[in-house]
Structure 1
Amino acid sequence: MELVVGRPPQEPLERAEAAVEQYAYCPDLGDATIVGDGQAASTTWRFWWD
């Protein structure tokens, strides 16, 4: 699943919160730290399940 995000979180705390929520929704994303450093700040969020 791919989502286009109009206003991704900009502040570090908001990115961390978004990463935790993304990881809870889709644990197949891998490490939540990596999600927070990359995907959470992006305008495109990708989710997949194995």
Structure 2
Amino acid sequence: MEIRTFLECALKEDLGHGDLFERVLEKDFKATAFVRAKQEGVFSGEKYALEL
């Protein structure tokens, strides 16, 4: 399954039930996140995150 198709299915499943953030955030809302960790780790899903 292509990344975009997978993400569309996942979002449809989550938002189909009236997700809280869907109700309080504007449709074109953009956010930035920073990860602060006490030790090194593994980041998985970068390809998927970049598609959002």
TM-score by shorter chain over 0.5: no
Task: Considering fraction of residues, name the structure with more strand.
Answer: 1
- Which fold has the larger relative contact order, with Cα–Cα distance below 8 Å and residues 6 or more apart in sequence? 2
Query: Normalised by the size of structure 2, how large is the TM-score?
Result: 0.33
Query: Normalised by the size of structure 1, how large is the TM-score?
Result: 0.34
Bigger Rg, structure 1 or 2: 2
Task: Considering fraction of residues, name the structure with more helix.
Answer: 1
